Structures are given as C-alpha cells and as structure tokens.
Amino acid sequence: MERFYFLGDAIGYIPSTAVLESLNLLGHRVKCIRGNHEAMLFEGKSNPERENIYQLDALRSVLTNHQLMMMSSWPVLYRESVNGLNILLVHGSPTNPTFDYVYPDTDLAGFSPEADFVFMGNTHHPFVRQHAGTCYVNVGSCGMPRDDGRYGSVALLDTKLKTVRILRFDITLESKEVLDNFSMIHPSVKDIYKRRQSKIVGEIL
C-alpha cells in the first residue's frame, strides 16, 4: 500500500498558495506535517526584518479560511509502524521537530529517536545516513532544493526491502515560471535556483 507524506513548508519565500491548493486536491491521500514556515505564520515568530525574504505577511492577504484551517490541523510529527518498521517523520529533527536543522554533516549522536527510519526536510539538503541502528533521511525539497537548484527531490521508502531512494527531477521550467510571475521574490531566494553541484545526491529521473 502506498502512503504519501509532505514534511512541511507549503508556504514562504513566494506569496503563492499553489502548494496548498495541490495538497488540498490530494486530500486524505497525503499526510502533512507543520513546517517552521507554518509555525511562524501561526505563532508570530517571523522576524519583521526578514519579511522581504519570507513573504508571510504578503501571503496572509491571499490565504483562505479553509487553507488556514488545513494548515492549523497539521501535527508537528508523525509516528508510523509499517511492516514492523518504526518510522518517525518530522520537519526539523527528532529533538526539535519543527525548527531544527540536520545537514549532511550534522552529528547524529545526540539523537535517540526510537525509530528505524527518520525522515526530515528543513535544510532542503537531501541525504541518507545510518547511525546507531537508525536510518536518517533528509528528503530535500520538491520545489526549492538548496544543493543544486535544478533538481527537486523526494524520498521513496520500500518497507518490505527496507531501502530508501532519493529521486531527483528537473524543476527548471517550473522555477523559471515562478520567478517570472513573482517579481517581489528576494534576490537571495532567486540565487538558490542558480546553485550547481558537480555530484548530485540521488537518482536523476
């Protein structure tokens, strides 16, 4: 049986509700987790001096009540047991599910997640790493990768084989359309799509 998960940050950087609209169409077929951007929107933790980057105030004027209710219902983490595997899904890390950052070189020794697999996404840097009996997976980002701006990423877990694959796909046309349609996007955000890596993490489709 297939299960789909979205690990947060449906909003931010671009004052658009396109991701929320897509998630709404998927309905119960996808389970969503609250990211730090949703938390900043609801908890008022955004830095006013960085509003020109996050664009959360601009987004508030176009969000519908349904979209606000949808995001407010998202938990900060999920725990699942599938085919005997204990799976933890967070946005940040096992110790701080919403706001923490786990990079490819982060020391994993401080985590005790009591899980066979941990899936994360906050850094937008995809990786698969093993530590102390747990497989840590950063799924990267489907729309704003921070390693190579050309390729979005998703993670595919086979619970029978107990294997994880990072899949990469070209988003250059979609990102160009976004950048052309939203002139207010901050230059630092635009530069993310210009990043290039000689070695791409994952399998390019």
Q: Which pLDDT score, from 0 to 100, does residue 162 have?
A: 96
Q: Which pLDDT score, from 0 to 100, does residue 161 have?
A: 95
Domain count, the chain: 1
Question: Which H helix or E strand runs over 157?
Answer: strand 151-158
The torsion of the CA quartet 167, 172, 177, 178, rounded to 10 degrees, works out to 60
Q: Which pLDDT score, from 0 to 100, does residue 45 have?
A: 64
**Quick check: helix, strand or coil at residue 82?**
strand
Cβ atoms of residues 145 and 174 within 8 Å:
no
Low-confidence stretches of the chain (pLDDT < 50) are none
DSSP tally for the chain: helices H, then strands E:
7, 10
- Confidence (pTM): 0.94
Range of the domain at 158: 4-204
The label of the residue with tokens 């919403």 reads 98
CATH no. for residue 53? 3.60.21.10
Q: What are 72-127's pLDDT values in tens digits?
A: 999 999 999 999 999 999 999 999 999 999 999 999 999 999 999 999 999 999 99
Cβ atoms of residues 47 and 66 within 8 Å:
no
Q: How many CA atoms lie within 13 A of 159 on its CB side?
A: 14
Separation of first and last alpha carbons in the chain? 23
Burial class (CB in 10 A: 0-12, 13-18, 19+), 123: buried
